[in-house]
Chains A and B, each alone.
Chain A
Amino acid sequence: DGSGDNEEGSAAENEENVKGTDKGRKRATPRTARGHGRGRARHGDEENEDDEDGTRRAGHHRHRNRRRGRAAGNEGSDSDTEATKARKNQANQKSKEGDEEEEDGKGGKSGKGKNEKKADKKPDKKGKKEKANKKKKDKKKSGSGSDSDSEEEPITEEELAKLKEEVEEKKKLIATLRNKPWKMKKKLSVLKEAQLFVEKFEGALGKGKGKKFYAYKVMMTKKWMKFQRDFENFKTACIPWEMKIKEIESHFGSSVASYFIFLRWMYGINMILFGLTFGLVMVPEALMGKPYGSLPRKTVPRAEEATAMNFATLWDFSGFAQYSVLFYGYYNNQRTIGWLKFRMPLSYFLVGVGTIGYSFMIVIRTMARNANDDGGGDDTSFNFSWKMFTSWDYLIGNPETADNKFASITTSFKEAIVEEQESRKEENIHLTRFLRVLANFLALCTLAGSGYLIFFVVRRSQKFALEGLENYGWWERNEVNMVMSLLGMFCPTLFDVISSLENYHPRIALRWQLGRIFALFLGNLYTFIIALMDEINLKARYLLPFTIFNMPLGKNEEMRTSKEKIVKYNMTIWEASLYNGTIPENSTAPPIQVDPADVPRGPCWETMVGQEFVRLTVSDTMTTYITILIGDFLRAVFVRFFNYCWCWDLEYGFPSYSEFDISGNVLGLIFNQGMIWMGSFYAPCLPAINVFRLHTSMYLQCWAVMCCNVPQERVFKASRSNNFYMAMLLFILFLSTLPAVYTIVSIPPSFDCGPFSGKTRMFEVISETLEHDFPSWFGKVFGYASNPGLILPFILLMVLSIYYLNATSKSYKEANLELKKKLQ
């Protein structure tokens, strides 16, 4: 350990107060001794005392000897030292003579360093003898130079290697110094010594050149780190509503936050859908299409003109709103518009299809990514310990954040405790099974009952309608709607009660609850539609007021063709009359300049469907907001303020504050999105409305949650992926694209409105484009490619590759698990 000692000694010389006491235990004794020596040597230096110089030099030589000895495996034998003393003296003298030679600072330094080092070794003994010799020479004390000279010459390879080693060691010490849990003082002294040593000897070894570069590099690394950090912060700051969601999460737990994260995700999707429809359909039509009033389809009909600007009309999305870019019917079937030769119908078609395609892609991709996250598996072996020791963020320096953090830590502990209790829960397995089967049976009964009720009510309403609604009261007229909304209100509560039988983990219970309500809504919807279609098929003549979507399905098919014929027939008559001037009411206007408002037109069922969806969306939004205001806010106000003058405790007693209804809100969001997907083909404005809705509901619900709700009794941890929500969303997406695709593929579009008028099917716009805008060979190739002979093998190939990929991913997962096991 001679090397270590050396450096300490030398460094200590520079630092007055280091007594050398703070080194490791092993070295303690030699160091103190050396320290004294050192201290003395230092004084000598300063005062130019010859004696001391001598001592030093002697020590130095001695040291060298010792090193050699060590190299030979023979540490500091006394005989050696004695023998070499004479030699040393000579060497010293020689070196003094060589004083005149030039020295660079480094050489000098290093030389000195060594001197000191050696002096430290065994200063007392040797010093005395050589002192005498040296005295004269050292007098003027350009000592450094002379010393270095004397040393540099005799330096051997061995020594060099040794030195290098030492330097490396010291460097390592410097590098790892911060890892040592020492007090500052000790660290400082050790560091200083090590630094000095390295500095000196790096110079001697010609290695110090890179220092500046190194410093620069370090600086750049730090700058880069800082930049990265700032960039991360920036990225976090760019995530919308992150703070709000974090705050909610800290007070209400991750399950409530998962709803808001889902809402935010939905908002992102809708932004993109909105961008597509707005940028590629609405704006081009508004800018480059024919202006309002130039065509019958772009004009409000004469009969509606009077009320077209009324607020009630606009609110209902008729009047001017109906004859604007907001709806399908406004678009012209001109192949290209404007100076850009923008292919409007093609663009409309592609955006419609692209919306659906994009939604599918993004939902599936998100699901896959989430599944990945889940598959990575979180290591829960230290769940509680990590929560306890790493959950407080020491960076927090603001009381509000600290409050949130306390809340969130408490919440997360509670979540973990619930998980723990759930896993500990011991239960009678038979009883639980029985209860669960019973609960499912009850839920199924409820579903079936509600389905039958709706079927019954729809049938009855048909009867009422046939007999004339005037004969009946308000209830009979609105029976269907009322029954449906009542079922929607009470069945979830019923399911809630049922699910308390099952004794599931709250997270699983939420899933069951979601699944059941989902089934209820869908079931009701489909019973409604089936009952409706049944009736329509029986009495095809009666036109129902449609309040629920799926308008284009059965009814239109039959109605349309006959109706269209009638309208077309009427129009021919009307046209003929124009030219003949035989029919009196037209004779007033000159036949050629008929106002577009006066032209008779056929029913534009696409616009009607679009309107229906827009109205539904708006009313749904309104209902949600009003429910929040009344159900949450007013209730909270009532509970809060009437608690002062009430006979029982309102806050903990009966009404209390409401909890956030996760399942209801998630389902509302999903169904709403289903409507958007279904309707946006007929009403390009629908994504815009939805973006607005989601935006406002984000703020409103965040506010409502924070201000009027209380956390659930058992805060539970949401699964990290929202894949259950996603799966439902995917299902709804599938269901809602069915009618849209159906209309595109198999229903002829209206003949006098919309971008596809005049075609027998909407998708013909593709073949038309192929014909006109692509070279003929392309059309041929496309024709071949769409041959079933090619498509079927292609589908087969895809299925096979899906199968293959699935199998590989499974095997990877297994391998993953295997590896994990091995790791533990």
Chain B
Amino acid sequence: MLLSDRSPPGNGRKECKVRWKRQTPCSQRSEGLIHQTSLSFCLRLFYRYRDLAPQLVPLDYTDKPAVTLPYELIASMPELKDNPFRQRIAEVFSEHGDGNMTLDNFLDMFSVLSEMAPRDLKAYYAFKIYDFNNDDYICKSDLEKTVNKLTRNELTPEEVSLVCEKVIYEADVDNDGKLSLEDFQHMIIRAPDFLSTFHIRI
């Protein structure tokens, strides 16, 4: 979190968006606040996005083409390929929750997962990612799914349910048998390596 505190006010992808705009006549004024590093981060993201489907994504984004890449392409990125939660990540960040992503969604995703993103934001999206059934609570079935994804189904059902019970026992502050966003944040903020693991370098 120290990192995020020290991080500059301009955020990467926002500025990079600005930079694409800059080619249009009406937005020259915002140049001043653009930082070189965030810009390059942004451009890198854009090129990564484009590399997924060069035939679909145009180089010129000034007229905002409505391009959406399917989940299969997104999930084939080496950064996500081995991640057991890739589908959830894509769904959470996609426009309609189907895993298909526009450039904006894409930028969103990697900005949240970037090193610069603050802890609270990460915690918020982590919660959404682990909330498989989108009911704004992490309930036991969500936890079971998480464990099974993490261990590739190598634990016996008894062990899984033991683990889930323990998690709820530990983290459920309001005793409603499921984890709300507050419960989750309360727990995850104390985790020593949440910031270092919930993070993709690109």
Point out residues on A near B: beta carbons under 8 Å.
Answer: 14-16, 109, 171, 174-175, 177-181, 183-185, 187-188, 191-192, 195-196, 199, 208, 211, 214-215, 218-219, 221-223, 225, 379, 381-399, 401-402, 406, 409-410, 413-414, 416-417, 420
Which residues of the partner chain B approach A175 to less than 8 Å between Cβ atoms? 9
Given the complex of chains A and B, what is the CA–CA distance between A477 and B177 in angstroms? 73
Which residues of the partner chain A approach B135 to less than 8 Å between Cβ atoms? none
Which residues of the partner chain B approach A191 to less than 8 Å between Cβ atoms? 10-11, 14
Q: Are B155 and A413 in contact (CB under 8 A)?
A: yes
Given the complex of chains A and B, what is the CA–CA distance between A175 and B121 in angstroms? 13
The digit string for B9-36, where 1 denotes a CB below 8 A from any CB of A, is 1110110011000000011011011011
Which residues of the partner chain B approach A388 to less than 8 Å between Cβ atoms? 143, 146-147, 150, 163, 167
Extra pairs beyond A218-B7, A401-B82 (5, CB < 8 Å): A382-B187, A392-B150, A395-B197, A395-B201, A398-B82
Residue from A171, A179, A384 in contact with B166 in the complex, judged by beta carbons closer than 8 Å: A384
Given the complex of chains A and B, what is the CA–CA distance between A171 and B36 in angstroms? 19
Which residues of the partner chain B approach A410 to less than 8 Å between Cβ atoms? 150-152, 154-155
Give 25 pairs: A residue, B residue, CB < 8 Å, sorted on A.
A14-B27, A14-B30, A15-B26, A16-B26, A183-B108, A192-B30, A199-B30, A199-B33, A379-B190, A382-B170, A382-B187, A384-B163, A385-B171, A386-B193, A388-B163, A389-B184, A389-B188, A390-B188, A390-B197, A390-B198, A394-B199, A397-B78, A413-B150, A417-B163, A420-B162
Segment 150-202 of B: residues with Cβ below 8 Å from A:
150-152, 154-155, 159, 162-163, 166-167, 170-171, 184, 187-188, 190-194, 196-201
Q: Are B167 and A385 in contact (CB under 8 A)?
A: yes
Given the complex of chains A and B, what is the CA–CA distance between A191 and B10 in angstroms? 8
Which residues of the partner chain A approach B191 to less than 8 Å between Cβ atoms? 382, 385-386, 389-390
How far does the Cβ of A254 sit from chain B's closest Cβ, in whole Å?
A: 16
Q: Are A397 and B81 in contact (CB under 8 A)?
A: yes
Q: Are A406 and B26 in contact (CB under 8 A)?
A: no
Residue from A109, A171, A183 in contact with B9 in the complex, judged by beta carbons closer than 8 Å: A171
Give the contact-size bracket for chain B.
35 or more
Q: Are B37 and A219 in contact (CB under 8 A)?
A: yes
Given the complex of chains A and B, what is the CA–CA distance between A171 and B155 in angstroms? 50
- Say yes or no: is B65 at the interface (Cβ < 8 Å to chain A): no
How far does the Cβ of B182 sit from chain A's closest Cβ, in whole Å?
A: 14
Residue from B8, B151, B188, B196 in contact with A406 in the complex, judged by beta carbons closer than 8 Å: B151
Which residues of the partner chain B approach A382 to less than 8 Å between Cβ atoms? 170-171, 187, 190-191
Residue from B10, B79, B170 in contact with A384 in the complex, judged by beta carbons closer than 8 Å: B170
Which residues of the partner chain A approach B32 to less than 8 Å between Cβ atoms? 199, 208, 211
Segment 87-127 of B: residues with Cβ below 8 Å from A:
104-105, 107-108, 111, 113, 115-118, 120-121, 124-126
Point out residues on B near A: beta carbons under 8 Å.
Answer: 3-4, 6-11, 13-14, 17-18, 26-27, 29-30, 32-33, 35-37, 78-79, 81-85, 104-105, 107-108, 111, 113, 115-118, 120-121, 124-126, 130, 143, 146-147, 150-152, 154-155, 159, 162-163, 166-167, 170-171, 184, 187-188, 190-194, 196-201
Residue from B11, B17, B162, B200 in contact with A394 in the complex, judged by beta carbons closer than 8 Å: B200
**Residue from B81, B82, B197, B200 having most chain A Cβ neighbours under 10 A:** B82
Which residues of the partner chain A approach B85 to less than 8 Å between Cβ atoms? 392
Which residues of the partner chain B approach A396 to less than 8 Å between Cβ atoms? 82-83
Which residues of the partner chain B approach A384 to less than 8 Å between Cβ atoms? 163, 166-167, 170
Q: Are A385 and B187 in contact (CB under 8 A)?
A: yes
Q: Are A219 and B36 in contact (CB under 8 A)?
A: yes
Chain B minimum-CB-distance residue to A174: B9
Q: Are B118 and A179 in contact (CB under 8 A)?
A: yes
Which residues of the partner chain B approach A14 to less than 8 Å between Cβ atoms? 26-27, 29-30
Given the complex of chains A and B, what is the CA–CA distance between A381 and B197 in angstroms? 20
Chain A minimum-CB-distance residue to B115: A225
Chain B minimum-CB-distance residue to A217: B8
How far does the Cβ of B31 sit from chain A's closest Cβ, in whole Å?
A: 10
Which residues of the partner chain B approach A413 to less than 8 Å between Cβ atoms? 147, 150-151, 155, 159, 163
**Residue from A221, A384, A387 having most chain B Cβ neighbours under 10 A:** A384
Q: Are A397 and B166 in contact (CB under 8 A)?
A: no
Which residues of the partner chain A approach B190 to less than 8 Å between Cβ atoms? 379, 382
Q: Are A184 and B104 in contact (CB under 8 A)?
A: yes
Given the complex of chains A and B, what is the CA–CA distance between A382 and B168 in angstroms? 10
How far does the Cβ of B108 sit from chain A's closest Cβ, in whole Å?
A: 4
How far does the Cβ of A383 sit from chain B's closest Cβ, in whole Å?
A: 7
Q: Are A406 and B152 in contact (CB under 8 A)?
A: yes
Chain A minimum-CB-distance residue to B119: A179
**Residue from A178, A181, A225, A381 having most chain B Cβ neighbours under 10 A:** A178
- Given A174-B9, A384-B170, A397-B79, residue A389 in contact with residue B194 (CB < 8 A): yes
Which residues of the partner chain B approach A218 to less than 8 Å between Cβ atoms? 7-8, 35, 37
Given the complex of chains A and B, what is the CA–CA distance between A225 and B108 in angstroms? 22
Given the complex of chains A and B, what is the CA–CA distance between A420 and B162 in angstroms? 9
Q: Are A15 and B9 in contact (CB under 8 A)?
A: no
Given the complex of chains A and B, what is the CA–CA distance between A560 and B51 in angstroms? 84
6 smallest CB-CB distances across A and B, nearest first, come from A402-B82, A218-B8, A184-B104, A384-B166, A175-B9, A410-B151
Chain B minimum-CB-distance residue to A170: B9
Q: Are B162 and A417 in contact (CB under 8 A)?
A: yes
Q: Are A174 and B10 in contact (CB under 8 A)?
A: yes
Q: Are B155 and A390 in contact (CB under 8 A)?
A: no
Given the complex of chains A and B, what is the CA–CA distance between A535 and B197 in angstroms? 66
How far does the Cβ of A824 sit from chain B's closest Cβ, in whole Å?
A: 11
How far does the Cβ of B145 sit from chain A's closest Cβ, in whole Å?
A: 11
Q: Are B197 and A391 in contact (CB under 8 A)?
A: yes
Which residues of the partner chain A approach B152 to less than 8 Å between Cβ atoms? 406, 410
Q: Are B126 and A178 in contact (CB under 8 A)?
A: no
How far does the Cβ of A384 sit from chain B's closest Cβ, in whole Å?
A: 4
Given the complex of chains A and B, what is the CA–CA distance between A314 and B33 in angstroms? 76
Q: Are B105 and A184 in contact (CB under 8 A)?
A: yes
